[in-house]
Amino acid sequence: MTSFRITKNLFFKIYKLLPILFIPLLLNACGGGGGGASSGGAASYTVTNCNDNGASSHRDSEYRYMSSAYHSTDPLEAICASSAYTRGATGDGIQVAVIDSGIHETHTDLNDNMIAYTTGSDVVNSDNDASDDNGHGTNVAGIIAAEHNSSGMHGVAYDAEIYGFKAFNAAGAAPSGATGAAYALVEAIGAIDIINNSWTSEGTCTSASDCRSKIGTTLYDNWEDVSQLSTPKISVFAAGNSGESEPDLECQTMKYNSDINAVSVCVVAVSYYTSGPYSTGDGKIASFSDRCGSVAAYCIAAPGDRIGSLTHTSNGFEYTTGTSFAAPMVSGGLALIMEEFSSLTPAQVVTRLLTTANDSSEYSQTSIYGHGMMNLNAATTAVANLQTINGSNLLDDENTSYYDLANNTFTSSASFSNALNSALAGQTMEVYDSFDRANFEVGVSSFFTSGSYTSQNTVENHMARLQPKTKEKVKHKNLYGNFTMEVDGNYVQSSMFQSAGDFLALGFNQSTNSFENAVDPLSGFFNDSNFGNNYLVNPYFHTGSGQDYFMSFNGNSSFGIDTFTNGNNSDLGLAFNLNPLSSTSGDAKYAGDLQIVLGTNYEQNKFLNSSSTGVFATGDMSNTNFTGVKYKKNLGDDFTFVGSGFAGYTYIDKASNSYIDKSTPLLTSTFTLGLAKANFIKKDQRIGFFINQPQRVEDGSLSLRVPTSSDRDRTVTYSNLNVDLEPDARQINFDIIFHKAVTETSNLSANLTHVQNGDHSNSSKNQNFISLFYKKTF
């Protein structure tokens, strides 16, 4: 018994794998080039559940109409159709041929989805009127594509279009050669994607030639022909209703012709009807249904017992039973998959349908259910990793590479994040399932993270701003060759070499912009935190984590050089600082400090400190040339005016294959104005007023080139997305800062901040902060 089970399991696995033997070939063909591409992983893919988790709006009365009061599960719920609808798949644009007893084309729940009868479509009577005189064809067509029109029911693919071909007479029998002739008519209509065949021929065949002989040479040859077209048509066949272990002849034929079985599906019926003679209503195989048997590799299950559909005699509805009605469930499902994934070939659509079937528990019995129960939730979901395509327009080209989604990022500067967000809102692009390169639509903005100035307005930052400035003192100030700097609280690890006579000063590994900090006119108010210092420092020196060198000549710092590198030594900045006016010259008391800055920086895979990876990466040499001025002047004994302004011109370096396709230079600006007064009301009280605009893009744009569609010939089309990077507003920070020395050992500070148009967005709410800080030293 044990050995039998092992054999049986192996047997099942082989059948499970047969239809996806193409996958390794496919992945070999399309997965090259690295970039994080993962293998398909389909062999281990198991679907345990069909979770009908679509929006409730999709599970309306029309959705339930196929079932009756005695169904344990609605047929559409059983195949999780609402999940596919929520993802936008409704069958729109997909055309399904129904070879049957004709169709009641004027039924009000179907007429809008009917294609007018084509020439010769009534094969039985050799005319052009494929009307239904049996009812079966109308039942089938309704299950596929009855309209979602707030009346009655809707089909699985309620926006698909139906071609009707009458090959069966009023008794439900096909005259000799009729089905083959109908296939010839279908072959001639290029628009048809899927052929539903809710009919069978009873019997057994054991080879291709035997099957060809038994189902009819015309049918076999035409079926083979439509399967060999450059865009093959998918054929769906009912298994039969004899309750036998093997399906009928047409399904058996699939075993012996690889062209046919690549695009053909055999369907058995399960039952959720609790009150009928064919099941216990638990979704197991209906007693009347043939099993998948030796056709398991091309076989799937769908509800087929007491399925509600359209009548041919009126605009009414009726219930029907048989694998005839499981087959159109699958045809409709294929239409949804086909619409949802325009990049898939028909063979890949079939493979995806079969691979994503629920194959656990009861449905793991491949000899009964083949691949299992159709699951349109899983079928419209990624089987393996979703990936971006790296610039190529050929999904399967050996040179095409892919990135896993997590490896594509863009963290934008707040200087333009508002504009970027606005431009990308609602914009979509394609990504691809590494299993079969099925195309999924995602929002472009999903890869983007916005930088934010206002996010820094935390209570912690405001409190930290008011803490007394960290005291720094240089030991052995004038000792030649001394590299030691002592910092209270180990705030900065640095070293300094300063020559005797203050003629030459060299610095290393100071906090960023150390040279500027040395002349920061706000140092009396704000401490050394980045948050506090952002008002006046050079905004084009973005990093604080790397190495920083500065050099100034003579003690008055009339000329200096400031540099930075980031932590990876990949960014480089160089600024020349000129100090033509110095408070130490002339009458120091009333003199001004003027610093003029000219510089340039180069950023690797960044610009304006906006970092990016993957398909949004920028090149190694984005460059910003900048200039700025900082000025401080004492006005009388108590007043001090401070001001600074910086402007930059940024050239974005394009990386090869990046979706950032083109850009214009970005003009950016920032400024600060401030007025401080000592001895405010009382001695030892100071107050300052400051107006600041954080860095903002004034002009410039990007052009993104993103994949937006793909076709069954496996080509990708890119679309340009122009992004004007100038934000729609200007952030202005208003600050009032008050400082009081209460005693020699205690200080009180207060800060009121008002932020207008935060992050340069006119939709931002104004922010207000009040912070108080009291410190007493014991």
User: Which positions lie near another protein, rule CB under 8 A?
Assistant: 100-101, 134-136, 139, 167-168, 170-174, 178-179, 198-203, 214-216, 238-243, 248-249, 276, 288, 306, 311, 313-314, 316, 318-325, 327
- Smallest gap from Cβ 215 to another protein, in A, equals 8
Enumerate the H helices of 613-748 as residue ranges. none
Six token digits for residue 16: 């499970």
Run of H or E including 144: helix 136-145
Nearer to another protein, 94 or 123 (CB): 123
Taken in order 66, 48, 370, 362, the sign of the CA dihedral is negative
Run of H or E including 517: helix 514-517
DSSP tag of 101: B
- Smallest gap from Cβ 216 to another protein, in A, equals 8
Six token digits for residue 546: 């790397």
Angle CA 331–296–350, to nearest 5: 35
Distance of CA 42 to the CA centre of its chain: 21
Shortest CA distance to 374 belongs to which of 399, 349, 347? 349
Cα gap 232→157, rounded to integer Å: 20
Nearer to another protein, 212 or 714 (CB): 212
Nearer to another protein, 312 or 696 (CB): 312
Position 640, amino acid:
T
- Smallest gap from Cβ 203 to another protein, in A, equals 5
Six token digits for residue 246: 């093997």
Is the distance from CB of 82 to CB of 58 less than 8 angstroms? yes
DSSP tag of 654: B
The three-state (H, E, C) secondary structure of 238-270, written as one string: ECCCCCCCCCCHHHHHHHHCHHHHCCEEEEEEE
Using alpha carbons, list the distances in angstroms from residue 372 to 71, 364, 775. 20, 6, 72
Nearer to another protein, 173 or 667 (CB): 173
- Smallest gap from Cβ 330 to another protein, in A, equals 13
Q: How many CB atoms lie within 10 A of CB 126?
A: 8
Distance of CA 445 to the CA centre of its chain: 8
- Smallest gap from Cβ 66 to another protein, in A, equals 12
Cα gap 82→54, rounded to integer Å: 4
Run of H or E including 465: helix 459-466
Nearer to another protein, 200 or 731 (CB): 200
Shortest CA distance to 428 belongs to which of 446, 408, 409? 446
Nearer to another protein, 140 or 725 (CB): 140
Six token digits for residue 346: 């028909």
Taken in order 55, 56, 57, 63, the sign of the CA dihedral is positive
- Smallest gap from Cβ 30 to another protein, in A, equals 38
- Smallest gap from Cβ 291 to another protein, in A, equals 14
Q: What are the φ/ψ torsions at residue 648 (nearest 5 degrees)?
A: -140, 160
Is the distance from CB of 648 to CB of 626 less than 8 angstroms? yes
Cα gap 246→252, rounded to integer Å: 8
Nearer to another protein, 174 or 704 (CB): 174
- Smallest gap from Cβ 72 to another protein, in A, equals 17
Six token digits for residue 91: 């069958």
Using alpha carbons, list the distances in angstroms from residue 106 to 160, 198, 312, 583. 16, 21, 9, 93
Six token digits for residue 412: 């934008």
Nearer to another protein, 292 or 419 (CB): 292
- Smallest gap from Cβ 376 to another protein, in A, equals 22
Angle CA 121–353–6, to nearest 5: 130
- Smallest gap from Cβ 129 to another protein, in A, equals 17
Cα gap 365→581, rounded to integer Å: 88
Cα gap 13→743, rounded to integer Å: 84
- Smallest gap from Cβ 439 to another protein, in A, equals 34
Nearer to another protein, 182 or 522 (CB): 182
Using alpha carbons, list the distances in angstroms from residue 285 to 52, 132, 145, 415, 465. 20, 29, 24, 62, 72
- Angle between helix axes 22-30 and 346-355 (nearest 10 degrees) is 120
- Smallest gap from Cβ 334 to another protein, in A, equals 18
Nearer to another protein, 251 or 575 (CB): 251
- Smallest gap from Cβ 220 to another protein, in A, equals 12
Nearer to another protein, 201 or 356 (CB): 201
Six token digits for residue 195: 């052929």
- Smallest gap from Cβ 313 to another protein, in A, equals 5
Using alpha carbons, list the distances in angstroms from residue 38 to 68, 383, 389, 493, 660. 45, 12, 13, 44, 24
Cα gap 122→507, rounded to integer Å: 92
Six token digits for residue 667: 């003009």
- Smallest gap from Cβ 352 to another protein, in A, equals 25
- Smallest gap from Cβ 344 to another protein, in A, equals 28
Nearer to another protein, 244 or 726 (CB): 244
- Smallest gap from Cβ 217 to another protein, in A, equals 13
Q: How many CB atoms lie within 10 A of CB 249?
A: 21
Nearer to another protein, 203 or 592 (CB): 203
